[in-house]
Amino acid sequence: MIADDGSGGRELAVEQIEVEPNVERANPSNLLNLLSKFLQTPGNVLLVQGQPGTGKTTLAFELLRRIEGPRIGQRTVPPNRLYVSSRVSPTKLRKHFPWIHEVVDSMSGRIATGSWAEGLQDRRVSEADGILTKVLAAKRSLQKGLLVIDSWEGALRNTTEEGRRMLESVILSDPGESKVGVILVSESGDIGGLSYLVDGIVTLSSSDYEGRQTRMLVVNKLRGLRVQDRRGLFSLEKGRFTFLPGAEFPDRSSTSLKIPAPIPHSATLFSTGSPDLDMMLNGGIRKGSSLLIDVNGTVPPEAVTLLLNVVRANFVNLGGSCFILPPTTYSSENVADSLLPFVGREGLEERVRIAEFNQALAPEKWRMSLKGNAKEDVAILNDYWNKGKVVPSSRLLTYDFDKVEQVYGDGLTFPGLSEIGASIRDSKALSIGIAYRPTKVREEFLRIADYYFKVENLSGSLLLYGVKPFTNIHGVEFAFERGIPSVRLTEIV
């Protein structure tokens, strides 16, 4: 809190934070865990640097939230969480970080009420004396905790060189005896020799990518710890510091997968089977639409298969039908095996058809033998859709443009391709085309596509964003909680 010391001077805002219990996502970030582990070592000092607005304060609060106290027998003693601010008022902190429950000056025991903080929201201090007092008190308390000084420049404003050296000495001295970790937040980058004295440094940045904002954290050093992945993308959504999940996939070898409960379509929109993806699309995909997904060459094929299978399963489990033209790297058998856990045997055999051009393979109910001739294959497909046990208005066609080119040739124009699903738009069905590289068929399809997405792998995270309609970048995470497959998105904001 900011308080008058009785002599007309003002103290720095010193706040103790009570936060919600730490709830981990299915794939917690290695980097965030690593930083938390680093700060669990008493006396370690972490310098967080970056331009204004890059998320330094949010990261500091996330690390405050994660710090753990010592265990005494079967009980964990709450740690001492201190936030010392020379630039942010308590009112603004609660506004930008609504998950903070209350703010307490741990040195005086005063609790900040809304009205008391309201009158002090514009009060700032820059003297280093208050910092010295608070740091010394925290270290002498012999209580394990974490102290954040936000910002280093504000703490040193109007102080002398001698005062600066004193403050550095107090913060960095006796690391072996201190039980308090320290986070220094810096905006200017002009920190002199401090970078050599602190134990760890991370740099936060914000940049433009395809006309969209990305946020990056880079670990410059963490003394005493091995850092395997030094950079990661993150989001500041809802005032929380959240790393985007990695592009790795959860191990399903010991998991018995369950058929996911379908998400109903609305009168005008198809659900994708993922609430997060539906939200990104303002409710879902318009019926009778076509969607093009451009996939970067660094994206694992399994990622595309999982994403499509969630969408396919939602159609099939709602009584609809799905036709699949597999990519060149997968056989019809591979595709069937990957989709089976999502829809069950009955759903696969009754409402799914997977194209196969090898006439010598044994027949399967789900396998649709095609001739490699566009007109003949159109007739076969339409016959299935018109006579099959499907919901007429809930049809999905997914096809790989590399496979289309391989089978029907690059000379196939879009009018020829459209015959494969001639009734798609008229029957309010949905077609999804996947492109890994530029082809003539892809270019023709792009001109009439209602939706256009890109899937890429950047800095170890799988990204999805809309070109049409325009959306922010989202990190993609695949989960199988309790055996139920799902797609989760983390929007970069």
pLDDT mean over 131-159: 74
Residues 73 and 222 both lie in one domain: yes
- Residues 202-254 have pLDDT tens digits of 999 999 999 999 999 999 999 888 887 788 999 998 888 999 988 776 666 55
Q: What is the band of 405 on the pLDDT scale with cuts at 50, 70, 90? A: confident
123-127, 165-169, 201-205, 389-393: least confidently modelled range: 123-127
Helix runs in 205-294, H state only? 275-280
How many C-beta neighbours within 10 Å does residue 467 have? 16
Could you tell me if 333 and 462 lie in one domain?
yes
H-helix segments, 79-160: 90-96, 114-118, 129-140, 152-156
Residue 439, CB half-sphere, CA atoms under 13 Å: how many? Answer: 25
310 & 239 share domain: no
Q: Domain containing 147: what range?
A: 13-243
329 shares its domain with 386: yes
User: How many domains, the chain?
Assistant: 2
Same-domain status, 325 and 215: no
Q: Is residue 468 part of a domain?
A: yes
Q: Is 263 within a domain?
A: no
125 inside domain? yes
Same domain, 217 and 93: yes
Task: Tell me how far apart the alpha carbons of residues 312 and 145 are, in angstroms, rounded to a whole number.
Answer: 50
Judge if 315 and 179 occupy the same domain: no
Q: How open is the CA angle 415-418-421, to the nearest 5 degrees?
A: 160
Helix (H, G, I), strand (E, B) or coil at 419: helix
Residue 260 within any structural domain of the chain: no
The answer on 168 and 87 residing in a single domain is: yes
Mark which of 202, 228, 243 sits at the end of a domain: 243
Position 2 in a domain: no
What are the CA-CA distances from residue 159 to residues 155, 162, 170 (Å)? 8, 8, 15
8 Å CB contact between 277 and 477 = no
Confidence band (pLDDT; 50, 70, 90) for 71? low
Q: Could you tell me if residue 3 is inside a domain? A: no
pLDDT band at residue 88 using 50, 70 and 90 as cut-offs:
low
Res. 123: pLDDT tops 50: no
Q: Specify if 97 maps to a domain.
A: yes
- Enter the DSSP assignment of 107: T
pTM, rounded to two decimals: 0.81
401 & 277 share domain: yes
Residue 87 has pLDDT above 80, yes or no: no
Tokens of residue 397, six digits: 């066609």
Among 209, 243, 277, the domain boundary falls at 243
Residues 274 and 237 in one domain: no
The answer as to whether 5 is a domain residue is: no
C-alpha distances (whole Å) from 108 to each of 16, 64, 88, 125, 174 are 11, 20, 20, 18, 25
Residues 6+ apart with CB under 8 A from 357: 369, 370, 371, 372, 407
182-207: pLDDT as tens digits: 899 988 766 667 778 889 999 999 99
How large is the C-alpha radius of gyration of the chain?
Answer: 28
Q: What is the pLDDT of residue 41?
A: 83
- Looking at residue 415, which CATH number applies to its domain? 3.40.50.300
Q: How much is the pLDDT for 307?
A: 94
CA angle 37, 40, 42 (to 5 degrees): 140
